[in-house]
Structures are given as structure tokens and as C-alpha cells.
Amino acid sequence: MNRQTLIQTLPKAELHVHIEGTFEPELMFAIARRNGVGIPYASVEEVKAAYDFHNLQSFLDIYYAGAEVLLHEQDFYELTLAYLQRCRDDNVVHTEIFFDPQTHTERGVPFATVLGGIRRACLEAEQQWGITSLLIMCFLRHLSEDAAFATLEAALPHREHIIGVGLDSSEVGHPPAKFERVFAAAREAGFLTVAHAGEEGPPEYIWQALDLLKVSRIDHGVRAEEDETLTARLIAEQMPLTVCPLSNLKLKVVDNLAAHNLRRLLQRGVCVTVNSDDPAYFGGYMNQNFNALVQALDLSTAEIKQLCENSFQASFLSETAKAAWCRNIRQAV
């Protein structure tokens, strides 16, 4: 079996995908028209041409503008179902989806509308295709601690439908320490925690995510390698990194994929996983990320399988479910 077929065949979990980042231009145009919301592009081609980023912020500006057309429960449902169809195509059997409530509640869209649409799609995908999903609500780190507390408050009535909280948006200048108290309150309320750290920000932000936010995973974390003590800790604790190769390429975290440190981290024993981050903006869903890595880094069959196993080991699935999926992967030819 060639490596591309192996990637297609193996079951995978996705642990780092922003639902707003799966908004394909075609669907964006359809929903914008339906909702009577203007977008500053004449065609899908023009939108795609605008997806030429030089760093995280240049992407975020366009990503937040795109999300403004989402108004109704049906919009969030269609957005999420379209992503889950991509999961089915790529044999992603489990996904832990980020959503950014503040992007929507700040525009007057109720929290329950956002969550309701996302959940309806997740339930449908589980019934129809057997794909399981968990939801992680992210705080926007460029906004205040007070705003994050208000979001946590809004989430409490929906606690049973949200497995954890995360931290995303503009990293540099907004260290995890800014949200130490909110994360403590979230843990107190029973949420698991994750955080984006070490994408553009320094290794110090990863230390803070571990020690102050008490995260179960680091999202991105690729800059950990600059700090040997930190890397050793990640290995010793088997602290997962949810790495997003095509995102790192498109946001100029790396100059080219051949220079990506994913394989080096994997070979050192870091629990790295492969994810798509914002696939509609970065040119690829799960299997495109895997295939691009195989091309650039010449990943072996054993390494591909290890990455798939890691995706389940690093997930919030039960130990029984993790073991079953890993057995399935090990038994694959």
C-alpha cells in the first residue's frame, strides 16, 4: 500500500480545527446572499486571492470578517455539517472542534444559536456516519479577561455539551497569564483546558500554558524546540502538541514544509499530532496535511501510523475508545 492510500485508510482524530476556519468561500457566498450581508469580494476567485497571509494577524483579520455572515442556527449547522462531510471523506472518525463564541456574541448572535447549530450537525454526523465529536470553546485572547469571564458565564448552562475551554487569536502580547483566573474558574466548573501557545509566541508562553492554565494539550507548540528543558518536559509528560503543518506554512511560521520540525519532534518522542487548523483558508483538510508532510519530510509508514495513534492518545475520548482505535491502527497493513 502506498503512503497516500495508507493515510486515506487509517482512522484519525482531529484535535485542532476552528469551525469558523472551515468556512469555504462557496458556502460563505451562499449564506451571505441568504442573510443579506455584504462581503467585500465579487467572486469566489477574488476571495481565494485574498488568502495570501504574511503572519497570524493578517489571517485573523480576514477570518473574523468572513465569520460576520453567520447569523442563524441554520448557518452554524451548515458550516459544521460541511466540515464533518470532509471528515468522512478523510476517514477522520473523531473530532474535537473549537468554536469562538465571542466572534458571534459580540455581533448580537446568542450563544445558544451558535452552539445549537454546531451540535445539530454533530449529532447528525454521529447518527449517519458514526463520526464522534466533542466541542471546545475558545476565549479570544486579544479581548479582556472580563470578556472571557462573561463568556464562561454564558457557557455554564451548556456545560454538559462543552468538554473544554481553549485560548486562541492574536498570540504575541497576550500571554496565557492574562487568563490564569478565567481558566481556574473554568477548571472549577469541570472544563478541561487547552491553549494555543508557541505558534508565533515564545517558549515562555508554553510554560505558562502548562503551569498557569494547567492544559491537557498545547495547540501548535512548535516553538517549544527552542527550549531544551521545555522539550524534555513535553516528552517526559507526554504532553501532546496539536501541530498544523499547512497552517504553519501559510502563516509563515515556517518558510517551507521541508523545514518543519514535526518529524524531528516525533523522533524525539514528543506526542505530536497532525491537524488542519483553518482548512478553508490554508489549503487543506486532514489528509492534505498528511500528504504534504509525507512529500516534504518523507515520513515513513511507521511514522504515519504513530501520528494516527497519537491523535487518539491525545484526544479526550475514553481510555477504552482510545485503545480500540489504536489497536485498529496497529493491525492495519
- By the rule CB under 6 A, 247 interacts with ligand ADE: yes
What x-and-dash track marks residues 41-60 binding ligand ADE by CB under 6 A?
A: ---------------x----
Piece in contact with Zn ion (CB under 5 A), picked from 174-182, 183-191, 275-283, 309-317:
275-283
Among 326, 264, 268, smallest CA distance to 297 is for 264
Q: Which residue among 20, 171, 199, 303 is the active-site one?
A: 199
Q: Which is nearer to Zn ion, 24 or 96 (CB)?
A: 96
The yes-or-no answer on residue 199 being catalytic is yes
Q: Which is nearer to Zn ion, 60 or 326 (CB)?
A: 60
Q: Which is nearer to Zn ion, 16 or 71 (CB)?
A: 16
CA separation for the pair 206, 212 (Å, rounded): 10
With CB under 5 to 8 Å by kind, the binding choice for 21 among Zn ion, ligand ADE, none is ligand ADE
The residue within the footprint of ligand ADE, chosen from 199, 217, 297, 299 (CB under 6 A), is: 199
- By the rule CB under 5 A, 277 interacts with Zn ion: yes
**What are the φ/ψ torsions at residue 37 (nearest 5 degrees)?**
-100, 130
Q: Quick check: 248 and 210 in contact, CB under 8 A?
A: no
List the grid coordinates of 186.
473554568
What residues are designated binding site for substrate? 278
Among positive and negative, which fits the CA dihedral 263, 282, 92, 152?
A: positive
With CB under 5 to 8 Å by kind, the binding choice for 86 among Zn ion, ligand ADE, none is none
Q: Which is nearer to ligand ADE, 23 or 41 (CB)?
A: 23
Helix (H) or strand (E) holding 133: strand 132-140
Say which amino acid occupies 258. A
Q: Is 64 helix (H, G, I), strand (E, B) or coil?
A: helix
The residue within the footprint of ligand ADE, chosen from 10, 11, 14, 21 (CB under 6 A), is: 21
Other Cβ atoms less than 10 A from the Cβ of 263: the count is: 18
- Using CB under 5 A as the binding criterion, the count of chain residues that bind Zn ion stands at 1
CB of 91 to Zn ion, least distance (A): 22
What residues are designated binding site for Zn(2+)? 16, 18, 196, 277
Q: Which is nearer to Zn ion, 19 or 297 (CB)?
A: 19
CA separation for the pair 113, 139 (Å, rounded): 17
List the grid coordinates of 273.
499530532
Specify whether the backbone of 91 is left (phi greater than 0), alpha (psi in -120 to 50) or beta.
Answer: left
Residues 101-160 that bind ligand ADE (CB under 6 A): none
With CB under 5 to 8 Å by kind, the binding choice for 104 among Zn ion, ligand ADE, none is none
| Residue 34 CA from chain centroid, whole number | 28
- Active-site residue set: 199
